[in-house]
Amino acid sequence: MKPAPVEFEGWTRRRWALTILVVLAAQLALIYLLSDWASPPAGPSGPPTRFCWLAEPTQPAPESELPWLDDPAQFALVTRQGFTGPIWFPAPGLKPPVREWTEAPRWLAPNVNSLGAGAARGVEPAAAVLLADRPRPATVRPLPEDHPVFTNSTLRIEGDLAGRALMTPLSLPRWEHPDVLRPSTVQVLVDAAGRVNSAVLLAGSELAAADLRALELARAARFEPLAERSGGSGLAWGRLVFHWWTVAPGSLPAPAPPPAP
C-alpha cells in the first residue's frame, strides 16, 4: 500500500505581509545603527561679506588699458604678450601699401640724332623683299592640246547602256541663263529592240524647260538592238546625263516664225 502524496500549500496573504514588515524593520534598524549622528564642526566666524555698487569708477584700473586681456587664451597659448614674449625675436613692422598710388609722369626725351633719317631712307634703293619659307602655291595645269573643248550641250550615257550605240542623233539645245546649269539626269529602261519603255528624271537642273526637254529627248532615243540569241529578258537600265551649255540672256537669235498656211 503506497502513502498518499503530500500536497504543497502556498503562503497566505497574511504570511507574505508579516515577512515584508520584518524585512523592512530590519533595514531601518541597520540604517539607524550605521548612521553618524554627530553634528559637523562650526566654521570660523569672520566679518560678513559686504557688496558696494559703484555707478562710475573713480579711476581706471591699469589692467583695463591692456587690450590683450580680452583674449581668453592669453595665458594658455604661446604669444608675445605671455611670459615667453621677451625671448621672441621682434617682428618687423609691415606698412600697408597705398592702394591709390599713381606714378609721376616721365617724359621721353627725343633723339635729336635720328631726325630726318626717314627722308634719307626714302632716297635709298628699295631693298630686296625676302619671302617667307612657304610652299609654292598650286598652279592650274593647262589642258592638253588634244583635250576637247565643248561649245554646245553634250550627252553622257551611263550604266548598262554605256556599251550600246545610240541610233537616233539627238539635237541638244543651248539655253539662255545667267549662270551655269546643273546636269539633268534621266533614268531610262530600254528593251531588247532598243526602244525606251520608261524615262524618269532623277536630278534636275535649275531650269524647268531644260528638264522637260531632257525627258522628251530620252523618250525619243533609240539604241542598238540586241542579238536574237542573247539570253535574258533583254531589258537594260541606264542613265542619260545632259550637260547643258548656257549663254547670256539675249545672245540667241529669235526663233523663226511658223510658215503661213
When pLDDT is cut at 50, 70 and 90, the band that residue 57 belongs to is low
Lowest mean pLDDT among 47-56, 58-67, 149-158: 58-67
Task: Count other C-beta atoms under 10 Å from residue 16's C-beta.
Answer: 11
Grid cell at residue 68: 590683450
Of 72 and 21, which is predicted with more confidence?
A: 21
CATH number for 157-247 (one of 3.30.2420, 1.10.287, 3.90.700, 3.90.25): it is 3.30.2420
Averaged pLDDT of the chain: 76
153, with CB counted inside 10 A (0-12, 13-18, 19+), is: buried
Name the least confident of 42-51, 60-69, 75-84, 226-235.
60-69
Residue 83 confidence (pLDDT): 67
Q: Where are the domains of the chain?
A: 157-247
Give the pairing type, strands 175-176 and 246-247: parallel
In this predicted structure, the answer to whether residue 149 has a pLDDT above a threshold of 90 is no
CA-angle at 232, arms to 231 and 236, nearest 5°:
120
pLDDT band per the 50, 70, 90 thresholds, residue 11:
confident
- pLDDT over 90 at 179, yes or no: no
Average pLDDT over residues 189-215: 89
pLDDT above 70 for 254:
no
Predicted local distance difference test score (pLDDT) of residue 23: 94
Query: Which of 128-132, 152-156, 159-163, 195-199 has the weakest average pLDDT?
Result: 128-132
Asked if pLDDT for residue 42 goes beyond 90, the answer is no
24 pLDDT exceeds 90? yes
Mean pLDDT in residue range 228-250: 80
Give yes or no for residue 229 having a pLDDT over 70: no
Give the pLDDT confidence score for residue 121 in this predicted structure: 63
pLDDT above 80: residue 139: no
Confidence band of 63 (pLDDT split at 50, 70, 90): low
Q: In angstroms, what CA-CA distances link 209 with 64, 68, 181, 206, 214?
A: 108, 102, 12, 9, 9
Q: How confident is the model at residue 55 (pLDDT cuts 50, 70, 90)?
A: low
**Which amino acid is residue 219, in one-letter code?**
R
Quote the pTM value. 0.42
pLDDT attached to residue 122: 58
